[in-house]
Structure 1
Amino acid sequence: MSGPGGSDAPAGSAIRVLVVDDDFMVARVNQGMVERLPGFTVVGQAHSGSEALAAVRSLEPDLVLLDVYLPDMSGLEVLRRLREGRYPGVDALAVTAAQDVDTIRTAMRAGVVHYLIKPFTFDALRDRLERYAQAHRRLSAAAQATVAQSDVDRVFGAVRPGRSTRSELPKGLAAETARLVEQALRQAAGDLSATECATLTGLARVSARRYLEHFVVTGRAEVRLRYGSSGRPERRYSWS
């Protein structure tokens, strides 16, 4: 991963992040999540496309957390201008509510390191940022100008999470129970809440949600919010 203009940050230094979101509160929340992670520092916020371009020029971040829906121009237009201008090497992680195929395809072609659909959990963002940091360190630490295929495979494997396996389950999660929750999601006619999943599997609601969120983080399940007349929105899960 390259810094602005294509120069890598020194190995071991904090990854400089610019948070771009038109919603001031969402930007503040995203900044708080990033700052909870060691090895990352937020250097600024921007709330429009023009602010984002100016902030990249003045702050020179390594990574931009980039919303697509901005008031003056699309986040994809921001990314296009960065790629065609003086800052083709700054990386971007899309964090957005945009779910249409054309936007996702355009973002991929523009070279985003990952694409997170709102709403997402802290664990989901942490997973992507930690993988990014791992790839960033590997490239920054490479002493030689060229690398072997095995080195390239490790870098791309770090950036793009693969399917979860039994051995990759976080501490406290069991493979048999994970299969039980997976089966409930796969067989559901629609999406499920954590409470409904708990009823189907015989687990406690808190336990069911831990497995559901793990599947979301690893890309095996999707989550959406269902808003009721009052109270917090309900998280609904479906198998990808």
Structure 2
Amino acid sequence: MTAPHDTAAGDDSIDVLVVDDDFMVARVHRTFVERVVPFRVIGTAHTGQQSIDAVEELRPDLILLDLYLPDVFGLDLIPRLRSAGHDCDIMVISAAQEAETVRRAVRRGVVDYLLKPFDFEDLLPRLERYAARRRRLLSAVVRGQADVDRVLGGTALSAPGGGLPKGMSVETAAMVERTLREADGTLSATECAALTGISRVSARRYLEYFHGTGSAGVSLRYGVAGRPERRYDWHG
């Protein structure tokens, strides 16, 4: 477990604890998080017990939680943290894609669920959504149902009013959707980019958006070497 950071970074920072059994993976996740303002990583942990000790000592706002820890299944840490009085938010970072695991995670109140492997571009919009929702919750003044709806509306992938997230266009989304619908089988982000003429990073973002809304499915294709490729197909 790493030592805490200097707390002089300011009250607006969002303190993050990275939990992963693999030291190298935890280091990569830490690097990703620290590229996003106002997030800062205040510690890392590699087992369930280290995680509990780190939360007690460092009091993070958000935990990036791996599920396959050597001494405990990650989701089983959540009720233990709650019973100890810790109300930090949990974002699951895991290769576990079983439906029951995802359902358990939702029932235990996780704020997001990101499948490994992923790139910085996959984590970035999730951190940005979390930060925006956190700001709304901290500054909310509830005078009626409309105020409650406004605060809770930040949990959706789409923008208020049913639109796309910031930085995404209706025209490009329609083009990616059409390409995915017409594909003979699955498409990777690279293949989608080649067919649409947009960058691979942009294609990946739109494909992940459709996956997040339930319109597209994701499967992993394992090659001879390297990490598995994420492939998408249209569900509608």
TM over 0.5: yes
CA distance in 1, matches of 2:161, 2:229: 28
State the match for 1:4 in structure 2.
none
CA distance in 2, matches of 1:38, 1:208: 24
Q: Is the 8 A contact 1:123 1:217 kept in 2?
A: no
Q: Is the 8 A contact 1:119 1:224 kept in 2?
A: no
Kindly provide the CA deviation profile for residues 144-171 of structure 1, in whole angstroms up to 9, marking residues without a partner as x: 5x55322222222223323799963765
Displacement of 1:230: 4.0
Displacement of 1:107: 0.8
1:213 paired to 2:211 = no
State the match for 2:23 in structure 1.
24
Displacement of 1:188: 2.7
Question: Measured at CA, do residues 149 and 169 of structure 1 come closer, stay the same or move farther in structure 2, by a change above 3 Å?
Answer: closer
Structure 1 window deviating more from structure 2 (60-69 vs 120-129): it is 120-129
CA distance in 1, matches of 2:231, 2:156: 25
Displacement of 1:13: 1.7
State how 1:82-161 maps to structure 2 within 5 Å.
82-87=81-86, 89-142=87-140, 146-161=142-157
Question: Measured at CA, do residues 195 and 38 of structure 1 come closer, stay the same or move farther in structure 2, by a change above 3 Å?
Answer: closer
> TM-score, normalization: structure 2?
0.81
Local SS of the residue matching 1:99: coil
Q: 2:224 aligns with which of 212, 229, 233?
A: 229
Question: Measured at CA, do residues 79 and 147 of structure 1 come closer, stay the same or move farther in structure 2, by a change above 3 Å?
Answer: farther
CA distance in 1, matches of 2:58, 2:165: 38
Displacement of 1:136: 1.5
CA distance in 1, matches of 2:123, 2:225: 27
Q: Is the 8 A contact 2:193 2:203 kept in 1?
A: no
Displacement of 1:85: 2.0
Question: Measured at CA, do residues 163 and 188 of structure 1 come closer, stay the same or move farther in structure 2, by a change above 3 Å?
Answer: farther
CA distance in 2, matches of 1:83, 1:15: 19
CA distance in 2, matches of 1:190, 1:163: 30
1:51 paired to 2:46 = no
Displacement of 1:182: 1.1
1:181 paired to 2:185 = no
Kindly provide the CA deviation profile for residues 8-66 of structure 1, in whole angstroms up to 9, marking residues without a partner as x: xxx95201110001111111111111111111111100011111011000000011111
> TM-score, normalization: structure 1?
0.80
Specify every segment of 5 or more residues in structure 2 that has no aligned partner in the other structure, as ranges: 1-9
User: How much is the aligned-residue C-alpha RMSD, in angstroms?
Assistant: 2.8
State the match for 2:7 in structure 1.
none
State the match for 1:192 in structure 2.
187
State the match for 1:5 in structure 2.
none
Aligned length: 223
Higher RCO, Cα 8 Å, sep 6+: 1
Q: Is the 8 A contact 1:17 1:64 kept in 2?
A: yes
Q: Is the 8 A contact 1:212 1:237 kept in 2?
A: no
Identical-pair percentage: 48
State how 1:35-74 maps to structure 2 within 5 Å.
35-74=34-73
